[in-house]
Structure 1
Amino acid sequence: MTRLTAIVIDDELFAREELIELLSEFDQIEIIDQASNAIEGLKKINQHKPDVVFLDIQMPQITGIELLSMLDPDTMPNVVFVTAYDQYAIQAFEDNAFDYLLKPVDPCRLAKTVKRLNKRDTTQTESFDPIAPPTLDQIPCSGHNRIVIIATKDVEFAYSDLSGVHVQTATQKATSQLTLKVIEDKTSLIRCHRQFLVNVKAIKEIKLLENGLAEIITQSDHPIPVSRRYLKALKETLGFH
């Protein structure tokens, strides 16, 4: 029998431990990690790529629903919401989430969820668009042994390299657990290079170079490459044809 890998994310220690204890009764589920907040949870989801995530909704700084919108749709696991608020479940989760559980979790109800998960082809994913926020107002980042939440409007540009995905504001650089694709899809930043996204409002000037290339200079004087592929669209966005 194939066991489904799972991560439990809940800021309440007692609730998290209780759910893990209940899940340990099922041979079909293997708990591979846990997290006490959405930022830590996002990191562990990207690291482990579990089959299913049991996700609390009401958490500080970033809620479970906001975390949902930060997941890459190409690798998104099945998500089972865990909530103490029945109205949330009735409003949103019944039709759009894979499943939801009300706190305190009833073992019989949990058994039904596990049975459904076991029947499901875990390579498929649900569409969460109806409940996930269409845009991200903030980007969770880490840097210098701390966790920072950066307002999307303050980001001048984002880029990827071998060490990960980074966002740059006028005053700080931080590493994010979000993929460049999620940032592009969920924010107003636009693609200017295969590895760079830019906030149009942060552009101070564009230097046109040879061979159809260009270079953006941001308001805080950071240079950003512009490739031929994206230069035309960038100029059109700025009103130059």
Structure 2
Amino acid sequence: MTTYRSLIIDDELLARQAIRTLLKTAPAFEVIDEAANGTEAVLKILQHRPDLVFLDIQMPERDGFEVMKAIWGYHQPIVVFTTAYDQYALQAFEVNAIDYLLKPFNEIRFFQALNRVQERLDQRAQPQVDALMGQLLQEETAPADGSYLRRILVKETGKMCLVDTNAILYFDADGNYITLHTEGKNYLIYESLTNLETRLNPDTFVRIHRSHIVNLDYVTEIEMHFNGEYMVRLRNGQQLKWSRSYRDNLKAFYSRVT
């Protein structure tokens, strides 16, 4: 079984001990070190290059976001933010944290976060499969006739399969991981949304948000809000925000109804 190396960063000793105790019951994870301030955190992350970092936000010398900024160009671990302050939640996800634990958290909430972490790390731990997927994806996205991507290769437990792009309602990005939403099932791939966008037919797939590409075939309603943004309703009832930054892409929708 693969063992993932974890680093605990928090200026409170009791908080570090609590996380260490919980991780002892998770055999896939080992704690390799701890840090009690932001400067020490940067040094230890770059020294150990851990798979997972539990990172407090408010710390002496450097806060958690400053630590992320300092290390991200050199090493990109999976990060779970831990803090007593809920106002940082949105900012945490904007810097690609996989989860946000609000202190005091219980065991159930902790292991919910850890399950997400392990799922993501297990995907990273298969470089040969990922390389093969990348090669096959490239073949799928560059057919001889120059047409757009028709199928996307995804991997599930113990197998790989192809998803027809016509069956995808929308794409939802979290960093370089993208969830493919279909009416029956969701799939996860490792890919840049910006890169994927160039491979999709722009008459059908439209970028509506930095994290979303929507299939116009499934759009049933677009509602304008007073702030210049729109809400998109899909055939399955899902609602997505069409942000002002991508308002120019509305012409693709209007061309279908005029």
Scaled by the length of structure 1, what TM-score is found? 0.48
The structure that is helix-richer by fraction is: 2
Higher relative contact order (CA 8 A, sep 6+): 1
